[in-house]
Amino acid sequence: MPPSDGKVLVLPAPADRCPFDPPSAYQQAAAAASVTRTELWDGSICWLVTGHDEVRTVLGDQRFSAEPHRPGFPFLTPGRRQVVVDNPVFLRMDDPDHARLRRMLTGDFLVKRVEEQRPAIQRIVDETLDRMVAGGSPADLVTEFALPVPSLVICELLGVPYANHEHFQQLSRTLLDTSKSELEVGTAQRELRSYLTELAEHKRREPADDILSRLANREDLSPRETAASALLLLVAGHETTANMTALSTLALLRAPEQAARLRSGETTAKAAVEELLRYLSIVQIGVPRAAIEDLTLGGTRIRAGEGVLCMLSTANRDDEVFPDGDELDLDRDARRHLAFGFGVHQCLGQPLARAELQIALRTLFLRLPGLRLAVDEAELTYRTTMVVHGVDSLPVAW
Amino acid sequence: MLVTVDRGRCCSSGQCVLTAPTVFDQSDEDGLVEVLQPTPPAYLAPDVRLAATLCPGRAITVT
């Protein structure tokens, strides 16, 4: 690999443009070439992949490994290294180990299984909105709606008591915060894992109809693997959807004519959510892989043992696939977006995330037609050091 | 048009069912893809082709 030009890429790069747009560091790389070299915090050099086609190729090709012990695997921050090493989660395994562990969970996220849950999700959305409205206008949409809805949904599915939500939400935030030290991240991960291990032991004695009970009672799964899988579902299950809900609401408040079409049903919630997923691409940190064979990607020679980072946010703005990709257009066909990743690791929970977002956004805008920001937009602050992009708080009135 | 699948490559993401629900299903038993109509009518061709493109495991072949 050629030497780097000495510029170190900070991940996630500082959001220096519109809060919905990928940071200019990613955009500049994308404008230069779909595959460029970059230097990371630890002095390692890796390939930054920004084009739609190239990101799909990397994530869909098992010659790029997801295992962090592979030579060249890029660690995005010291805290990320702490998270991915020593955590037997299938997200960071290759097949056949990955497939063995993932398939234990696929039954719970089948499209038809999630469709059956729509009435239950609608009830959670309605009740959460009732509570927010009863609390009076204005309110913080993040703490009163966007975060409770997916937390309640995943708690019920997984079998985690919602009463513990402050505890696990705080640990989860630390886990995903790139500004935290390795020590802080490691402590949060151990604490969350031991909480879930204890809960799994309880479920072994008294099983209920939930995912954790089913995992805890499998003989082919070690307690460590059970806790790691549960941790992934719990964290991914609420952080991503919560941030998507709040940021989507803000994006729609800034595009009132598009929000009006969603309200009238002219634009379906289904189409709107696909475009919001594409446009917001909240996983703003790169998806890491290590090449295990020599190969050519977008005209660039990549060798075994070199690291690769796939930027979903720039891939989702690729003008060749999404004309005027920097524009939010709820009526475009955005289904080719890569917001959930691609390849065998593509988000397992995506049918659930889609159902939650469709129901939450449609219900929010229908029930509160006067929904508006309660502060000046310039006062809003964003989660710039988080693996998953979002807004810190979203004061709204109605 | 003939639709075939390699179930060994399926990762149960559900893209095919969301895109062409009358052609694809997911098995109750193992969550893997099932083809309901191996020779779907021509009007479904765009959906079926998109489903093949969206499949993250590249498990769907359309010939």
pLDDT in tens, A256-281: 999 999 999 999 999 999 999 999 99
B28: Cβ contacts below 8 Å, ≥ 6 apart: A107, A110
**What are the Cα distances from residue A43, in Å, to A3, A65, A93?**
11, 21, 25
pLDDT tens digits, residue range B2-52? 999 999 999 999 999 999 999 999 999 889 999 999 999 999 999 999 999
Pairwise CB contact (< 8 Å): A348 & B13: yes
Q: Which of residues 309-348 of A touch B (CB under 8 A)?
A: 335-336, 340-348
The rounded distance, in Å, linking the Cα atoms of B11 and B57 is 6
The pLDDT value recorded for residue A28 is: 87
**What are the Cα distances from residue A246, in Å, to A44, A173, A251, A275, A352?**
35, 16, 9, 15, 17
The mean pLDDT of chain A is: 94
> Number of helices and strands (H, E) in chain A?
16, 10
Q: How many other C-beta atoms can be found within 10 angstroms of the C-beta atom of residue A335?
A: 18
Q: How many other C-beta atoms can be found within 10 angstroms of the C-beta atom of residue A63?
A: 15
- A210-214: average pLDDT: 97
Q: Residue A4 pLDDT more than 70?
A: no
- A218-227: average pLDDT: 93
Q: Are the beta carbons of B18 and B1 closer than 8 angstroms?
A: no
Residues of B near A (Cβ–Cβ under 8 Å) read 9, 11-15, 17-19, 25-26, 28, 30-32, 50, 53-54, 56-58
- A12-31: average pLDDT: 83
- Asked casually if ipTM beats, i.e. exceeds, 0.90, the reply is yes
The pLDDT value recorded for residue B32 is: 94
The pLDDT value recorded for residue A397 is: 98
Pairwise CB contact (< 8 Å): A112 & B30: no
The rounded distance, in Å, linking the Cα atoms of A156 and A145 is 17
Computed from CA positions of residues A325, A331, A335, A339, in that sequence, does the dihedral angle turn out positive or negative?
A: positive
- A152-169: average pLDDT: 96
The pLDDT value recorded for residue A64 is: 98
| Phi/psi of residue A248, nearest 5 degrees | -60, -40
Residue of A nearest to B47 (CA): A335
